[in-house]
Amino acid sequence: MSKKYFYLSFLFIIFVITIIILFLKYMKTNKKELLIRPAVVAGAFYPADKDTLTRQIDNFLAQVGEMEIEGNLRMLILPHAGYDYSGQTAAYGFKQLIGKIFKTVILIGPSHQDWFFGAALTNYDYWQTPLGKMEVDKELGQKLIQENKNIFVREQAHQNEHCLELMLPFLQKTMGDCRILPIIISQTNDKFLSELARALKKHLTDQDLIIISSDFSHYPAYEDARKADQKTIQGILTGSVESFEKAIEENMAQGLPNLDTCACGEEAIKTGLSLAKKMGWDKVKLLNYANSGDSSGDFSRVVGYAALSFSDNQKSKKETLAPTEKQTLLKIARQSIENEFVKKRKSIDESEINERLKQPQGAFVTLNKNGQLRGCMGRIIEEKEPLYQVVAEMAKVAAFEDPRFYPVAKEEIKEIDIEISILSPLKKIIDPFKEIEIGKHGVIVSTRNGSTFGGQKSGVFLPQVATENNWDLETFMNELCEHKAGLPRDAWKTGGVDIYIFSAEVFGE
């Protein structure tokens, strides 16, 4: 090797190394550091120790019996005192969330230590509790900010505030991985509260839940608190902002000793009532009432607590499909696959699409050839897309994008049998041995934030997988964890995963 070639090679290597170093420095400098709000009242308002906190919440929830809420749950009003005082009342609301799936929980509460006009959002990416982190839905937050100049990010409103943080451990125990959008309201007027409700209405979906954080009467004697709170709650149960305001005015006019306020979250409650009226959430129910005297034994100066639910009056969508609807979906699935091989693609005959097939719903499309699996893809939850479109898309994905198989060839189409599974809504479960029925339920396992299994992992089996393989529950769950989710076989027994079940209406050609 000549000296000239050696020096050129040496210089080239130095150049490459320099570029790599500069690139790594650039990536480090420009890497977005996640902002995490710490748990500022852990150890004061609720236990800072994870195990102690878990036991306390589990005990609260265990003392709440089964309660029926008419319609679909949309909003809760819950207390925010220390868990020793208001935790049991709050549990009556949070118990209603077990088994339900919400994408984002919007938390609205009053400011106890910062004064401003409007509604304050947070710029944090996550909020921390002893049970792990909860992601903030900053995308929804930005949409609200664009709606009104008095909706803005103001970190100092959240910095030492307790009223929303107290909701999180309960959410983590009952809901698992959902996102949150914390909103603190300080000084306002009725005009702004109506505007805030309007902004929320514009961007809400069926997968969002509202939680209003408020305690009730502050510091009257025990019996005075019960009478005042009863009047305030009756005002809320009417669903009317005006009736709520009138109840508070009448309470304050009585001159009850030491009654400082009838509801510290008055503005947040008014926002919730205004939103409920706009959304048609007209089913209001008192779930539980108590005051601090019930837990402390001090009846001289108490604070009132109530848990209330708001639900809509919508009927559940029709669960089963008519034979003609099934045939239409099978036709759509086959047409979607065949369209990939023709220049002039056929469009879906809209005259065959009724209202049932336009409802958003999850579905899987399975392709079989000579009795063997040839492709299977699906979607679990559909927020907006109609069922018939989900089937059309999943048929195409199963045929041409299932990574386990080569794309379906044109000459294979006539040998392919199509099977469709229409999925029910997901239900989160606690005890797989009691709640999973083999052959009836499909199952999803998904790791939680802070899981010891490393990163987000999930897997799903349709109900028919167990019967087709003649598996018992143990084998079904072991195979799901190991081969679909990439987890230890017994992860479903040892904790660290959320388990959801669903049923499926299965039909084929």
Instruction: Note every long-range contact of 45-50, with CB atoms under 8 Å and residues 24 or more positions apart, other chains counting.
Output: 45/81, 45/82, 45/83, 45/162, 45/165, 45/166, 46/82, 46/83, 46/87, 46/166, 46/169, 47/83, 47/130, 48/130, 49/130, 50/130, 50/131
- C-beta of residue 291 within 8 angstroms of C-beta of residue 278: no
Look up the CATH number of the domain holding residue 329.
3.30.700.20
* Residues 371 and 481 grouped into a single domain: no
Beta bridge partners of 37: 127
Instruction: Read off the DSSP letter of residue 480.
Output: I
pLDDT value, residue 8: 57
* Residues 25 and 40 grouped into a single domain: no
- C-beta of residue 425 within 8 angstroms of C-beta of residue 482: no
* Residues 226 and 120 grouped into a single domain: yes
Q: Would you give the distance in Å from CA 322 to the centre of its chain?
A: 31
pLDDT value, residue 350: 78
Domain-terminating residue out of 393, 422, 451: 422
pLDDT value, residue 452: 56
pLDDT value, residue 138: 94
Please give the Cα distance from 355 to 268 (Å, whole number).
37
Instruction: Read off the DSSP letter of residue 63.
Output: T
Of the candidates 59, 108, 69, the residue with the CA atom closest to the CA atom of residue 286: 69
* Residues 63 and 13 grouped into a single domain: no
Handedness of CA 76, 77, 80, 85 (dihedral sign): negative
Structure tokens at 361: 């719903």
* Residues 190 and 126 grouped into a single domain: yes
Neighbours of 103 (CB within 10 A): 15
Would you say residue 299 lies in a domain?
A: yes
Handedness of CA 488, 493, 494, 496 (dihedral sign): positive
pLDDT value, residue 293: 95
Please give the Cα distance from 276 to 108 (Å, whole number).
14
Domain-terminating residue out of 422, 451, 469: 422
Would you say residue 16 lies in a domain?
A: yes
Residues 6+ apart with CB under 8 A from 44: 82
Please give the Cα distance from 234 to 285 (Å, whole number).
10
* Residues 62 and 123 grouped into a single domain: yes
Of the candidates 383, 225, 229, the residue with the CA atom closest to the CA atom of residue 306: 229
Domain that residue 108 falls in: 36-311
- C-beta of residue 421 within 8 angstroms of C-beta of residue 464: yes
pLDDT value, residue 316: 47
φ/ψ of residue 445, rounded to 5: -115, 140
* Residues 9 and 81 grouped into a single domain: no
* Residues 176 and 250 grouped into a single domain: yes
Would you say residue 316 lies in a domain?
A: no
Number of helices (H), then strands (E), in the chain: 18, 18
Would you say residue 317 lies in a domain?
A: no
Of the candidates 217, 420, 226, 204, the residue with the CA atom closest to the CA atom of residue 312: 204
Of the candidates 336, 506, 357, the residue with the CA atom closest to the CA atom of residue 416: 336
Residues 6+ apart with CB under 8 A from 384: 205, 360
Would you say residue 343 lies in a domain?
A: yes
User: Taking phi first (over 0 means left), then psi (-120 to 50 degrees means alpha), and beta for anything else, what does residue 293 get?
Assistant: alpha
- C-beta of residue 145 within 8 angstroms of C-beta of residue 153: yes
Domain-terminating residue out of 253, 281, 311: 311
Would you say residue 303 lies in a domain?
A: yes
Look up the CATH number of the domain holding residue 486.
3.30.1490.150
* Residues 167 and 286 grouped into a single domain: yes
Tens of pLDDT along the chain (509 residues)? 555 555 556 566 676 676 777 666 655 545 568 899 999 999 999 999 999 999 999 999 999 988 888 888 999 999 999 999 999 999 999 999 987 888 899 999 999 999 999 999 999 999 999 999 999 999 999 999 999 999 999 999 999 999 999 999 999 999 867 899 999 999 999 999 999 999 999 999 888 999 999 999 999 999 999 999 999 999 999 999 999 999 999 999 999 999 999 999 999 999 999 999 999 999 999 999 999 999 999 999 999 999 999 998 765 444 578 888 999 999 999 999 999 888 778 878 777 888 888 888 889 999 999 889 999 998 876 556 889 999 999 999 999 999 989 999 999 989 999 999 988 878 888 888 888 988 889 898 888 765 555 567 888 898 888 888 889 999 999 999 988 888 998 888 887 788 888 888 889 98
| Strand ranges, E, within 384-496 | 416-423, 427-429, 441-447, 458-461
Packing angle between helix 241-253 and helix 266-279, nearest 10 degrees? 150
Packing angle between helix 138-145 and helix 190-203, nearest 10 degrees? 130
- C-beta of residue 173 within 8 angstroms of C-beta of residue 131: yes
Structure tokens at 247: 């109840």
Edge-to-edge strands, sheet with 119-121: 151-153, 119-121, 179-185, 104-110, 208-213, 73-78, 304-311, 283-291
- C-beta of residue 376 within 8 angstroms of C-beta of residue 398: yes
Please give the Cα distance from 187 to 11 (Å, whole number).
66
User: What is the widest separation between alpha-carbon atoms in the chain?
Assistant: 102
Q: Would you give the distance in Å from CA 415 to the centre of its chain?
A: 42
Would you say residue 318 lies in a domain?
A: no
* Residues 66 and 174 grouped into a single domain: yes
Would you say residue 229 lies in a domain?
A: yes
Neighbours of 452 (CB within 10 A): 11
* Residues 406 and 445 grouped into a single domain: no
Please give the Cα distance from 407 to 410 (Å, whole number).
10
* Residues 402 and 352 grouped into a single domain: yes
Look up the CATH number of the domain holding residue 131.
3.40.830.10
The domain total for the chain is 4
